[in-house]
Every structure is written in C-alpha cells, then in structure tokens.
Structure 1
C-alpha cells in the first residue's frame, strides 16, 4: 500500500468499537481509503500486472444478489467492506483485494488522489442521488471532508450556486477554496432561521439540500430550506432516531433520500481527476508515515474540527510494496500495522490480518 486516508469512521471504531449495527468483536485492521502498487496477481487476472498503480474500491460483493443485478451492489447485505466488522481494512504494508475492484491509475493521477477517490465517491453518489444538474441551486449542510467533496462535485455537475453552512469559520474557508459560492457560519440560530439565511444568500430556496452532518437541527434546517418539490439527501449519519418536521416535508413534496456509501463511481472519479478539472488536494491536511500511525489517529481525533484527511504515506518507490490484487509476500512486523486497540481491560491485542479475510479471490 502507498497512501491510506484516515476517515472519521476509522477514528470512531478506534474509540468506540462500533458504528450503529457494525460492532467490533475482534481486533480489526482499519483503513478503507487506499491506493497502492500491484506486486502479484491471480492467474485469471488480465487487466492488471505487477507494477501497476491502482486505487482500491473497498466494497466487494460476495454474491450476485438482487442488488448486484440492478447495479446497486452497495446495498447488498453480505458485501465485504474494508474496515467494517468483521472485515479487515488496508492500512498496512501489504493487502489482498479483488482484482475487479482495483482500478488502474493514469500517470497524471497521484497515489494521494487515488486514496481520496473514496471520499470523492461519496460526493458523486450523493449528487447523483440528489439530481444535481446544470443551473441547480444547492445547499450543503456541513463543511467537513464529505461536505467539501459534495461542493466540488456539485459545481462540477453544473450547479449554478452552492451555499455551505457550518459552525467553524476555518472549515467554511476551506469550502470557499474548493468552490462554494456562499458560506454561512451558524451560531445559535434555529433551523428555521438557518433556512431563511440560506434563501437570503441564494435569492431563492435551493432545489437540492445535501445534509452532511447527521445532526438533528441540521436535518430540520435542511427540510425547511429545501424548495417545495425539491430533494433533501441525507449523507451524514447521526443518532438512529431524530425528530424532524415530516409534515412540512410531506405537504411540500420534499423528497428525502438516503445514501449508503456509493456504487459505480470509481471510473467516473478517476476520469475527473485525470482531466484536472477538479482539485481534491485541499482535503489533505496532514501526512504521516505508517510507523507514526498512532500519532496520525491522535491528530485526527484531537483536531476533528479542523482536519480534513490524514494520509498514511511516506515511503519512496523502492520501499513502497503494495498490493492491488493479491500478495503472497511474508507479512511484515505487526508493529508496523495499525489495529483497532480497545481499552486494555477488554483484553484486545495487536495482531496481523487474518489470511482469507473475506475478499473475493482474484483467480
């Protein structure tokens, strides 16, 4: 592996041992935003060879179920997904993955950009689900990494104006840097007041709202802000149960849509990056070698309000040994790996990933 991003979900698993119904019951290797260099492929792999630079899509269907048949494999209940219990992630030196979900990177797309395709894919999937098109007026709630990629993608898809709200002035500055037309720093306003401010700066109510925080008040503001007949897409995940003005949404025919990860986005994302029509480098705020992975996690946890993406990188080509398909090389010392470390009283210990971690074989 060459570059692996640290996501908020990685930190959440590390600190809390679960996200919703996904509960860590055994030590688990983290990481799902990744790129690397192929060192070995299975006998049936023809589209990749050793030395190829690849980006890794972390979700791999285990069976051809009804969701896969309709192209929505992200909804398959049995899907393998990196760093989602019980499946290990790819924040390590070597990693085996299904060749069908390893995508060759063009020469002008860097390893870092390859790793950032994962969060970029969230934005692509969300904006497609929202129906962003030429001339759209879009409200993005939250200016964290996922909010930023939604701004980038919405502008790329032709949005005429994008307004972003957040509590943090520095995060809103990042939103301006990646293309937001307007920003609003939220303080103690009610959801209705936030909606009114969004309408004021846009000159109209937005047809589309992309909610990236999961906070109850922000979901409420999203419903109030969205134009009648418009669409609210829920990207951020918060509490399982929230109170929302559902009658307001119903009588105004505001469609509320969810998204779960992404599907069929890697080729689009790679093409966009290769065209150089988008820039996702502002998402990277820190870089660490794998040996300093714990420091990287601590930094991400400590600076959660400011850090966009922390990448584990730092090896030259001679020492970067990754696997985009399979790797039969000996596992390195476990000291070089990042694992989910629960509190000592729970009795969890470091370990190397299990052989046969659930990913489909390449052969």
Structure 2
C-alpha cells in the first residue's frame, strides 16, 4: 500500500479503521438481524417497529453525513470517528435500557448519528485526509475488513443473546464502542493539522464548475439507485427466493453466498483494480449487479449464480463509491463531497426496504423484482454515461 503521503502513524490507519468497521457495522447495521426477534418476543413490541429502529438509524446517519464530511475535511477523522463510536455506544446503551418503544427508537436515532460518523463514508473521508490522492488502495483494504462484519458479529450477537440476553448484548457492544474503540481511535489515528476554510460552492456540493455540479448530481443519482436495489434485495432476498419455490433452508444457504462473494470480488479488485479508472470499476460493478438482479427476476438458471454475481458487484461497488469521488473531485474536496453524496443515498436506503415491502404485499415479488431489474439496468446506463463524461 502506498503510504508515502501519510502522516506519522498512517500505517496503523487501515487496520485500526478496519477493526472499527467490523465492530461498528456489527453493532449497528447488522445488529437487528439477530436481535430483532428476541427484542419483539421479550417486550411485545411489534416486530415491524423493532426493525424500524434500523431505518431510523440509517435516516439519521444520512442527516449527519454532510456535517460529518465538513468536520473531517476541517479537522481530520480522529476526533470525528471517536465521537461516532461514543455516539453508537450511547445509543446502544439507550436501546438496551429502553422500557418503551419511544425510548427504543430514540436510542436508534442516537446510534444513527454515530453511524454517520463511524461507518464507511466517514472512514473513506478519513483515509482521504490521511493518504490524499493515493487513498484508493487503502480504501480497498478497508472494505476487506468491513466484509467480515456480519461473519464476526452475527455469531457473537447470537452467543450474547443466548447467555446475557438482548439487553446484555447491547450493553456489551456499548462498552466496546465507548471504552475501547473511541479512545483507541482518538489516540492512535494520525493527528492531522486543521485545514484553512476553503471557498467551496455549497450549492455544488463542494464543486466549482457547472460541469462538476452535473457530475456530482449524476453520481448522487447512481449511488441512490444502487442503494435502493442493494438494501431491498438484502432485506427481502429470502422472501424472494421462497416465492420462487425455494425452501427456507436452501434460500438461507444461497443467501450465505453473499458475504464470500463480496469479499472475493474485493480481493480481485485489490489485485487488478489499479489498472482500471475508478469510474470503469464502478461500471463493471453496476454491470454485475444489473445482470445478477435480472437473472434473479427472471428466475433464469440457478439462483446461486444470480446471487453471486449480484453480491460480487456490490462488493466492488462499495470500493468504487469511495474511490470515484476521489478521482473526480480530488483529495482536497473529498471529505466534503463524499459526505454530501452519502446523505441522499443513506436516506434512500432507509426508505427502500419498507417501500419494497409494501409493493411486495400489493403486487407480489415477481413485479417487484421486475422493477428492481429495471432500476439496476437504467443505473448501469447512467454509470456508463458517467464514465463517458469523465
């Protein structure tokens, strides 16, 4: 990895942020996959409201993202990401001690603000500040860590629920975030000099020309469309596969291919990605997602092939969404731009699974998958236009 532009301590940044990503994704985004049912069973709260806590978290992370980008741009990621861990810890403690649905959802709002300062977008911005224009390989390595978040934390969460209950699991994660990750990030991430305020055009999301503004909004739409497809498939995949006649056990086995496929695709990108422009990598990722979703919608061939292609595309996409803004807008504006790109994307991700659930209930999975395939195909066209424009 190229580290010549990194400040002292920069070599620690990727493994440190990688561990932080595993803990943060596992104790926020992936938490309810294990805890939702035990929470609902223990409290009597409707499962839909329990799961809705995660949507509130994503919504709040989207609200926080532009502010987080400006903070990292001006001060660096050390303080900001440490604050994100503290917020996630406080939110998890609030969820664990909640006695009603209102305090439970409020806890998730706090977790969400922490997610905005602690997940990929903040980590990518931090790496941009540390490594500058050479951050692409660091971002790729970071996503390899993140790809193991569910693999590591789902079993740990299940073990915690079994032995100390869902509240104990929340308190345990809260302690790790507040007492371990926050001070570690604050003490060990490189200390960066505060940047002088820059005369960036706020209306153009940190860009300065009409061409850059058009590029920004095209990229924002591309990221939102893929975010909608990704979260919808992730949440409803088992429902979709079972509607196509697959038994639950088989559907779970096919779904388990997502993690290895994402990580495998990221390893390939790490080996050959330097030969491609980041926008070309984004286009290849979009093509894999579109083909995978189309095959899934048509029920053409083994579902495992469709899921592997889709997951591989999303694995590379998570890298490209960090490296493309760096290539298009430069290291100087990277943190501000990526923060503003993250806001609408995260809000769409918060709303898409709920909206898709309503559509599935009204018209079924076949029509829903046809719509998703259309969105993915259209998004691929938009991505090709972005490559051509750049």
User: What TM-score, normalized to structure 2?
Assistant: 0.29
Which structure has more strand as a fraction of its residues?
A: 1
User: What TM-score, normalized to structure 1?
Assistant: 0.31
Which structure has more helix as a fraction of its residues?
A: 2
